[in-house]
Structure formats: C-alpha cells, structure tokens
Amino acid sequence: MSEIPECLPPIRETRRASLRVPAGSVDCHTHVFAPDYPLSPDRGYTPPDSTLDDLLRMHELLGIERVVFTQPSVYGTDNSAILDAMARIPDRARAVVAVDASISDDELAGLEAQGARGIRLNLDNVGGMPVELGDVPALADRVAELGWHVEFLFAGHELPELAPMLRSLAAPVTIGHFGYMPAAEGVNHPPFRVLLELVAEGNTWVKLSAPNRLGVGDLPPWPEVVPLAQALIEANPDRMLWATDWPHPNKYTAQPNDADLLEQLELWAPDEAIRRRILLHNPTTLYRF
C-alpha cells in the first residue's frame, strides 16, 4: 500500500486584507480537521489539524461572519466533524454533507434540521464519491424536496460528458473551484464554454475559489484566472459564490495567505455591488441563512 501524503498546513498568520467586505459575508467552502475525528483508511491525503477555532480566527481577520462547511473526502460519509463545528455556531454556519444512496428520508430531515443544505459528490478525490453516478438523479430528486442542492467537484475535462446529467437534475447544482478548469487554456477552452452555458441557464452555481488549483501556481498573482472569473460573473452574477477553500487540503508545495484569496475578488469583480451579490446575497439564497 502506498504511503498517504501529508498536506501542508494553512498559513497560520492571516494578514488583514485590503478588501473590506459587507456585514454577513459568507465563505462558501471550508473544512475542519481535528484529531478527535478518525480519518478514512482509504483517503487520498492526510490533512493538517485545522480546527474551528483556527478558522474563526482567520475569518475575524478577513471580516467574514458566516461559513459553509463542505464535507472533505478524508471523512467519507461520516459528517461528524463539520456537523459538530456547525453546532457551535448554528446561526452562522451551514453545511454540505456526503451521503450514500441508502440514506433514509428521516436521516436527511435530521441533517436539514442541523443546517445541512446540500450533498457533495467529489469525483476528484479518493473516498469523495459515495454513490454511483447512475444513482445521482434519484438522490437529487430526494434532496430537491428539502430545498437542497448537489455540489460536484471533478476535473474540468470531464464536464462536457457530465453536462447532460447535470442539466437533468431536479436540484440546483454547484460546482467547486471554477470547475477545475485549466486557467492557462483561457475562456475559449471548450469545457469552460460548457461551464458558461450551464451558468447562463440558471440551475448551476460556481464557487469562485481555489485559484491555486487551476494549474497556474500555488501563490499569487494568478492573472490567468481573472478572465475566467469575469466571464463567469458576466454569464450570471446571481450564480456566483466565493470561498477560501481553507485550510487548502491536498497541497504540498506552498500555501497562499487567505487574505490573498479574498483580495482576488476585487480583481474578478471590480464593481462593489457585484461583490455584494457574490459575498452576501447569493449564498444567503442558496444556503438559506
């Protein structure tokens, strides 16, 4: 069995960002990793300890008041770490959980009561895809009845093949990290054009997050990402979300300061009214804060 790699920790000394954000702003994609929660032996990486208190300190420096916890692949379908974190700050937090197709309606209702608002299907990381793709439409039907969405993470080149299924789902769709599009390919890259079409159609939301995962370096600047962000915003500003991706798991060379990531938003959305939509209005709608 190959050794499971250990990720770099996030930058612990977050600086204050130059960009000021509106009250109630939401970081739409974060994780917590704490030693009390067992990791899956089938995971693809070992994350650094990164607790809720660590996250809240970082958010305080950035001015972020609300958060969405996204289930990481290393915990499989055991959502305990993010549910327990959410229980400590219930009015300020929501979660996107991982479930398998056998979950009961009562269990889904229980997760809704705790603050879950979607399910995550991670095709990119080992352990992150607990259901078969063929079971996704039926599961989407069930979560749509709760007002939930289905969040995907996949390699950008897979989107054209996945698009018909995404269009068929009854629930809204969110796509993480710019759809993992290779930023150097630009806005005319065929899979990116498909992403723009999905966003324009209105049932697909995109997280403007993790520019350090788009093949253009771990540290800023990321000028190649700016045209992608601006094209997505132009396609449908009401379907854009922003996130830090803290603590940036599955990274091994260098980590950005989270203030760097917030400041990218000023490049991507120079208009303050658009940034307010992305940071406040859109996530409030999707996650029902």
In a domain, 9, yes or no: no
Residue span of the structural domain in which 98 resides: 26-287
Q: Give the per-residue pLDDT at 1.
A: 43
CA distances 50 to 15, 28, 279, Å, are: 17, 17, 23
In a domain, 156, yes or no: yes
In a domain, 11, yes or no: no
Query: Where are the alpha helices (H) located in 206-288, listed in sequence order?
Result: 225-235, 258-268, 272-276, 282-287
Query: Count of domains in the chain?
Result: 1
In a domain, 53, yes or no: yes
In a domain, 44, yes or no: yes
Q: What is the pLDDT of residues 174-195, one digit of tens each?
A: 999 999 999 999 999 999 999 9
Residue 39 has pLDDT above 80, yes or no: yes
CATH of the domain at 201: 3.20.20.140
Q: Which of 54, 124, 245, 260 is catalytic?
A: 245
Q: What is the pLDDT of residues 208-239, one digit of tens each?
A: 999 999 999 999 999 999 999 999 999 999 99
In a domain, 18, yes or no: no
Q: Give the per-residue pLDDT at 127.
A: 67
In a domain, 14, yes or no: no
245 is catalytic: yes
Chain centroid to CA 73: how far? 12
In a domain, 2, yes or no: no
CA distance 84 to 230: 36
